[in-house]
Amino acid sequence: MARLIAARRTAVVPRGGAFARLRIEDLAAPVVQAVLADAGIAPARVDEVILSNALGAGGNPARRVALAAGLPHAAGLSIDRQCAGGLDAILLARALVDSGAAEVVAAGGAESYSRRPLRLATDPGGGPPVPYEQAPFTPWPERDPDMAEAADRLAGRLGITRARQEDWAVESHARALALDTAEIVPLMGVARDAFPRRLSPRLLSRAPVVHGSVTAATAAVAADAAAICLVVSDRVAQGRGLALLAGATLGGDPMEPGLAPVAAIRAVWRGEPLQMAEVMEAYAVQAVAVVEGAGLDPRLVNPGGGGLARGHPVGASGAILAVRLFHGLTSGRGLAAIAAAGGIGTALLVEASGA
């Protein structure tokens, strides 16, 4: 059974901040080197680097990261499953290790929202290129909602008020302010997440409305970050780390992408006791809906705060959940889950050594 024996990340910094000039490899290569040092694994033993990146322009960023980290023999595998990609990279590493195709895989995600390319769609009729912000996630424009609109629609259907969303955001920030920073690799002098703050009623009331009941306080900000996990075989692990018990990625209704993780959670978790859960907070309403829909205990969810307090470096966000589990779970079982545009949900169930 594959095991996760080291996991680190950079701080999460809103776009345009301290990481604004960094390339994908500048973000991720130091984190790869850190997890290898933590685990005492020589670079030559790494069989593959799997990296999620959602906003880049191709060019196999995983290979660029491998080269920058001193792993020239690792070909690099880049994936794009949008928000779920960082967690899916870890599931792919697990599959490689469990199949015997690899023994040591560095997997995770890296995103520079600050340096994302401008997007232009060419006109087959010869007209000027047309700029666009959101890539299509379904073949049907009428069933491919803006994410904030989808979040507000979900809030209305489930009766999750703005006040409840704000309560979740306040708790997320409060927990993040107390977070131990041991999981963070200092970069550009930044060793703490830049965004957590004390949210007062006045700040909440002044937050700009994004769509309907969703405000800037209850939607995660665009951000830059990288997160890497080292997934290895039992032989290499020698009892260390977290056992990767089960993982699932499932498609759901593209009109309600926020609910997609519920089915994935049910596919890997049968209701046994959990000590910790990490659920992505792209929107407060999405986190509330997933926690309630899957029957999770909210007291165990995101004990160090979530995406609302950190920010959302799209391709890295899922891997950050796994990093949080690795550093926070001392016994028993833990769960990570994330939603992605297009109606995709991913979940991972882990167990601490000696549990």
Q: Please check whether residue 266 lies inside any domain of the structure.
A: yes
43-70 pLDDT tens trace: 999 999 999 999 987 899 999 999 999 9
Q: Please check whether residue 166 lies inside any domain of the structure.
A: no
Give the chain's mean pLDDT. Answer: 96
Q: Please check whether residue 57 lies inside any domain of the structure.
A: yes
Q: Which domain holds residue 346?
A: 3-116+184-189+217-352
**What is the DSSP secondary structure assignment for residue 41, as one 8-state letter?**
-
Q: How confident is the model at residue 355 (pLDDT cuts 50, 70, 90)?
A: very low
The helix/strand/coil state of 144 is: coil
Q: Please check whether residue 20 lies inside any domain of the structure.
A: yes
Contact 289, 258 (CB under 8 A): yes
Q: How confident is the model at residue 354 (pLDDT cuts 50, 70, 90)?
A: low
Percent of the chain at pLDDT exceeding 90: 92
- pTM equals 0.96
Hey, what amino acid is at 271? G
Q: What is the CATH number of the domain that holds 269?
A: 3.40.47.10
The bridge status of strand 223-232 relative to strand 214-215 is unpaired
83-137 pLDDT tens trace: 999 999 999 999 999 999 999 999 999 999 999 998 888 988 889 998 988 889 9
The count of domains in the chain is 1
Instruction: Return the active site residues.
Output: 83, 312
Q: How many helices (H) and strands (E) does the chain have?
A: 11, 14
Q: In this predicted structure, which of 9-23, 25-39, 137-151, 260-274 has the lowest mean pLDDT? A: 137-151
